[in-house]
Each structure stands twice: as C-alpha cells, then as structure tokens.
C-alpha cells in the first residue's frame, strides 16, 4: 500500500483513493491517509466552510474551554449525528445508544464514528465516512458529522462512435449521490452486456483539493464492439411448397445516426426461387433505461414450385409495416420487466396462372387481397438465477378496420379480431455439461382469423418431425423439451459439440364458426435427436432428426418429410 493511494479491485469496478476493508482500516483526512487505530478526528481547517460575508465582529468573545487531551475522559450524555440521509434515526441511535452514560477518552469517542462508518461500508457506501469533529464536548454532548460521499464528475474514455453522454446517462441510474458500490456495479454490468461494447471498466478516485469532502471522480473506460455485423447461413427451414432449402444473408450497422441505434437488413431466398423475403428494421434508444422505438418493414414474394402444383403458376405478394415502442420498467443484471406497444399493417394478394387475382380460402376478397391493421400490447419478463433463467412473454392483439383492412360479414374471417399469445421458456442447468430447455407457445382467440394471424405448427422452429407450416388454426398450443448435453469442449473450456434429445407436441383448432376447416389430424407429436457442432469459431452446424409419433396422410417426399433438418451458419 502506498501512502495516499489505496487500490481495491472488483470484477467491474476499481476503487482508488479509499480504504474499503470492514471494520474501518483507512480514514481519509484531507489528502492523506491515517490508520484507523488513531482517533477518527477531522479538524475544521482541513474541511474549510464558507466564511460569512461582512466585517468581523469586534465584540469580545467569551473564552472557549480547551479541548480535552487524548487521555482525558468525557462523560457522554448525548451523541449528535448530523449530515446523514441514507439511514433512519433509529438505525443511527442503535449505534450511539451503547455509548451514552459512559466516560470515554477521545480515542474511544472516535469508535462511535468508526461504527457509523462501518454501517455505511456494510451497505456498500464505499466513499461515505463519519468523523468526530473538533469540539469541546460541552455538557457531555458529542458531535459526529457524516459525509455521504458521491460522484462529482463522470469521465468517459475509449469512445469512438458512442457519445459519452450515452454512457453517463446509464451510469447515473445508479444514484451516485451518495455512491453505493452495488448499484454502480449493476450499471457497469448492464453496460458490459450492451452489444455496443466489448468491455467496460470503472475506477474511482478522490476529487482532490477544492471539492467537497468525500466527493469522487468516476472514470469509465470502454472498448467499443465493431459497428458492422454480418451473418450468412444455409438451411432447409422454408416451406417445401416454395422450396425448403434457402440461403440467408443478414447485415447490421450500429451507431449510424445516434449512439445505440441499429439498422438491419436481412434477405432470404429459396434455392428454387419460390421465395424471396426482404426484411428491414431500424431501432433507436430513446432513454437511459433502454426504451427503444423500432420501425420494421418486410416485403415477400413467393411462387409455388412444388412439382404437383407448379403448372398452376400460383404466386403471391405480402408487405408488412410495423412500429413498436418497448420500455423496460425494471432492469437489473438478474431481472427485467418491460412493456411494449405497437401497430402493424399487413397486406397480401394471391394469383393463379401467374397474373390472375384469385383467393385461396375464405376471407380474402375476390381479388385474393387480405389486409390487417393490428394494435399490439406486450409484456415480457426475464428472471435469472444461479441455475438458469425464466423468460415470459404475453401479447394482446386487437385487429381493426383501419387503412382499408379486410371487412367481411360474420362468420367470415376479417381484420376485426382479438387474440392473446403467450410464450414461456425455462433454461435449467442440470450439470456443468447438461442444459434443459423447456418452451411453451400458446394462442387463444374468440374469433375466426385470417391466415396471416393464425397459429402455425410444423417444422424445425416449431414442431420437428413434420414439414414447415403443416397445420394452422385460430388457436393453438405447442410444448417442446430438449436436453443439451455437452460432448466436447475446446482448450478454453467453451462448448464445441452437443447432442440434443428432444420431444415436441402441439395442436391447433379453429373457432367453431370459421368456415375454413382444419384437417382431422390436428394433434402432432415427435421425438428425436439433434446435433450442434462448432468446428471453427463462429461457424455453427446443426442437424435435427425427428421421429413423428402421429402419422399424417399429407406427407410428401421432401427432406423435411423424412424428418431431417440442417443448418450451417457463419457470423464473421
């Protein structure tokens, strides 16, 4: 330990200029440090107060009694503690009451201040101190002053595209006056999980001469992550009617216009040319609690390339426009609760013989056009614990007739509806090499829905063992369980090979008045085995093979119908 500089290291927070051991080992007096075994006395000349304005009084003052010598004793009748706001008077009195009625030396009186300081340190107030002020102990009254230390200034180092205020505004959520270590560390952890940064560290040093006693300068050092992101993948997750094998390309860029914003573009095309999907989004933060506004638009065109229907030249187009505002209300490293509000408008049209407008199913108009205008209200919650995490999401959807949305007579489905969707996921660590993932999806509605709003099962992303989008209905439920078992790790201890036994079940059903009927085989279930392999950093290969437990009559000859799915992805 060097005189005038004490360093205590935390995982995310480095403290300079304060002794932090409990009980008190270092008391900061002015610009020096002394051992706490000496009296914790701060003299007024070391903490100058503001002088009154005007001429000094010439009136003779009564002679001030001399301050007792260190070994002289004082009968304590009362302990006055000033300057504290964090604790209740009863909490302070619980400490001071033990000293009332005792005759104590100045050194023993300093123990009162040390115990109050210890109370602050135990609660994480690492820069707060209680001191025995220079006094005469008139009538046995002992005066102790508390300095609740805070942060005078936040310095930010290492930024390039991110504005320092983006970081400062989030650090201030810790409540820096007075400074509490646990709260500050929480904000540092949240910043470190922000995809804008590779690493975040913080350090504290005393503000120095000219600043209020106990005030500090907080320095945040960051390493920014790459602003540009990309990924490419090949899989067979697309519906076989438009070509199950597809290629995907995703691009993203952060900090384009302001700190924390992100623009993304994704393109997907089936190898048969039957599906082309363009997905664009822009998200921007609007406050320090990570409230965001997202704008999204999706354009898709598709053509049936299945040999059994190819001669009919069936094709379609669909456009989606969406705006969403999401606001976390509770946010910490262990949990998050957020609300979201949004509106989406979707329109689509189908054609027969390439250019003849034609409806498929009951609901779209005579030209095959269907439109929906839907308000969304969502709630999501994440809770992390030592063995895993919970993720819950709920969303209410209210369909309206806005923007020329589809309107039909009852009971034909149209854009006017109400539905609720719910999702729950539990990730449970069974051992160091075993992770259990349980997922539940559900949709309920009292109305008949257009196809774009229905619940879908079938495929690797919903119910393995069957082709993509095999069944759809107004209502539905799906449950999936998979056990990820680590088989191999690399030299750094990271997982590189996992086997994944799984079981999937699901069902759909329509509203009784819906004129569109669901096939009789609407309950599906399967079990199987998956393989997840990372042969090279950022290169992932996945295989899933599902054994259908319910045989369906409308199985085809596509690779998905043999219950085999594959994916190869690379993210530079």
What are residue 133's phi and psi, to 5 degrees?
-75, 160
Task: Tell me the HSE value of 19 on the side-chain side, using a 13 A CA sphere.
Answer: 22
User: What was the pLDDT predicted at 70?
Assistant: 55
pLDDT tens readout for residues 106-148: 989 999 999 999 999 999 999 999 999 988 888 899 999 999 9
Strands 417-431 and 434-444: what pairing?
antiparallel
> pTM for the whole thing?
0.84
Cα–Cα distance for residue pair 473/471, rounded to 1 Å: 7
Average pLDDT over residues 340-353: 97
DSSP 295-310: EEEEEEEEE---TTTG
* Tens digits of residue pLDDT in 507-529: 999 999 999 999 988 999 999 99
Q: Over the chain, what is the mean pLDDT?
A: 88
Is residue 22 predicted with pLDDT exceeding 50?
no
Check pLDDT > 50 for residue 414. yes
Give strand pairing partners of 547.
527
Place of tokens 């599902």: 546
d(Cα 287, Cα 570) in Å, to the nearest integer?
33
> What distance in Å separates the CA atoms of residue 452 and residue 300, rounded to the nearest whole number?
13
Name the band, by pLDDT with cuts 50, 70 and 90, for residue 71.
low
Contacts with 53 (C-beta within 8 Å, 6 or more apart), sequence order: none
Q: Quote the DSSP letter at residue 152.
A: E
- Average pLDDT (163-180) is 96
State pLDDT tens for residues 277-321. 999 999 999 999 999 999 999 999 999 999 888 889 999 999 999
Give the whole-angstrom CA distance, residue 67 versus residue 135. 6
Distance CA 452, CA 448 (A): 12
Q: Which helix (H) or strand (E) holds 107?
A: helix 106-122
CA distance 219 to 207: 11
73 SS3 class = strand
Count of CA atoms in the C-beta half-sphere (13 A) of 515: 12
Are 162 and 255 in contact, with CB atoms under 8 Å apart?
yes
* Residue 494 tokens, joined: 């990271």
Whole-angstrom CA distances from 570 to 122, 245, 534, 544 are 48, 17, 10, 18
In Å, what is the CA distance from 242 to each residue of 307, 330, 471? 10, 43, 16
> How many Cα atoms are found within 13 Å in the side-chain-facing hemisphere of 173?
21
Choose among 309, 305, 281: nearest CA to 293.
281
pLDDT at 29 over 60: no
Cα separations in angstroms, 431 against 334, 386, 439, 483 = 21, 12, 19, 11
**Quick one: DSSP state of residue 519?**
P
- Burial (CB count within 10 angstroms: exposed 0-12, middle 13-18, buried 19+), residue 119: buried
| 69 pLDDT tier (thresholds 50, 70, 90) | low
pLDDT at 37: 32
Confidence of residue 543 (pLDDT cuts 50, 70, 90): very high
Q: Determine whether 303 is exposed, middle or buried from the number of CB atoms within 10 Å of its CB (0-12, 13-18, 19+).
A: buried
Q: Where are the beta strands (DSSP E) in 158-215?
A: 197-206
For 239, counting Cβ atoms within 10 Å of its Cβ (0-12 exposed, 13-18 middle, 19+ buried), the class is buried
Place of tokens 């508390």: 146
Give counts: helices (H), strands (E), the chain.
4, 32
User: How confident is the model at residue 209, as a pLDDT?
Assistant: 73
């Amino acid at each position: 330990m060097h005189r005038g500089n004490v360093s205590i290291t935390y995982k995310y927070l480095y403290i300079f200029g304060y002794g932090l051991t409990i009980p008190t080992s270092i008391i900061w007096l002015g610009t020096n440090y002394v051992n706490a075994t000496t009296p914790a006395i701060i003299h007024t000349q070391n903490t100058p107060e503001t002088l009154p304005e005007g001429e000094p009084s010439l009136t003779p003052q009564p002679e001030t009694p001399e301050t007792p010598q260190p070994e002289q004793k004082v009968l304590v009748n009362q302990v006055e503690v000033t300057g504290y706001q964090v604790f209740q008077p009863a909490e302070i009195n619980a400490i001071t009451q033990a000293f009332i009625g005792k005759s104590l030396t100045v050194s023993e009186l300093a123990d009162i201040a040390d115990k109050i300081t210890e109370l602050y340190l135990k609660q994480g107030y690492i820069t707060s101190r209680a001191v025995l002020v220079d006094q005469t102990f008139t009538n046995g009254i002992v005066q102790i002053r508390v300095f609740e230390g805070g942060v005078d200034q936040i310095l930010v180092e290492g930024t390039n595209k991110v504005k320092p205020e983006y970081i400062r505004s989030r650090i201030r959520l810790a409540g820096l006056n007075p400074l509490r270590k646990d709260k500050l560390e929480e904000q540092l952890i949240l910043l470190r999980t922000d995809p804008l940064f590779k690493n975040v560290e913080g350090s504290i040093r005393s503000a120095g001469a000219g600043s209020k006693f106990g005030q500090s300068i907080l320095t945040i050092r960051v390493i920014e992550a790459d602003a540009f992101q990309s990924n490419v993948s090949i899989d067979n997750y697309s519906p076989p009617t438009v070509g199950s094998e597809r290629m995907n390309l995703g691009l993203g860029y952060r900090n384009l216009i302001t700190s924390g914003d992100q623009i993304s573009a994704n393109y997907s095309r089936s190898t048969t040319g039957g599906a082309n999907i363009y997905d664009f989004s822009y998200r921007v933060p609007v406050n320090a609690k990570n409230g965001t506004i997202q704008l999204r638009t999706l354009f898709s065109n598709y053509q049936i390339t299945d040999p059994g229907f190819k001669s009919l030249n069936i094709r379609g187009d669909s456009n989606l426009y969406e705006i969403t505002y999401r606001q976390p209300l509770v946010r910490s490293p262990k949990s998050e609760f957020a609300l979201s509000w949004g509106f989406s408008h979707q329109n689509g049209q189908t054609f027969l013989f390439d250019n003849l407008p034609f409806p498929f199913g009951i609901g779209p108009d005579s030209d095959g056009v269907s439109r929906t205008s839907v308000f969304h209200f969502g709630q999501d919650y994440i809770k992390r614990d030592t063995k895993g995490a919970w993720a819950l999401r709920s969303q209410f959807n209210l369909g309206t007739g806005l923007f020329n949305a589809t309107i039909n007579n009852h009971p034909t489905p149209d854009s006017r509806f109400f539905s609720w969707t719910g999702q729950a996921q539990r990730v449970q660590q069974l051992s160091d090499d075993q992770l259990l993932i349980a997922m539940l999806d559900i949709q309920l509605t009292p109305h008949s829905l257009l196809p774009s709003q229905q619940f879908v099962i079938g495929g690797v992303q919903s119910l393995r063992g069957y082709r993509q989008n095999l069944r759809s209905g107004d209502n539905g439920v799906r449950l999936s369980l998979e056990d990820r078992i680590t088989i191999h790790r690399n030299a750094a201890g990271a997982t590189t090979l996992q086997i994944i036994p799984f079981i999937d079940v699901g069902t759909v059903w329509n509203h009784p008045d819906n004129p569109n009927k669901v096939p009789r085989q609407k309950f599906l279930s399967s079990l199987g085995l998956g393989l997840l392999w990372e042969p090279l950093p950022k290169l992932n290969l996945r295989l899933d093979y599902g054994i259908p437990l319910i045989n369906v009559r409308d199985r085809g000859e596509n690779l998905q119908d043999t219950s085999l799915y594959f994916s190869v992805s690379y993210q530079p």
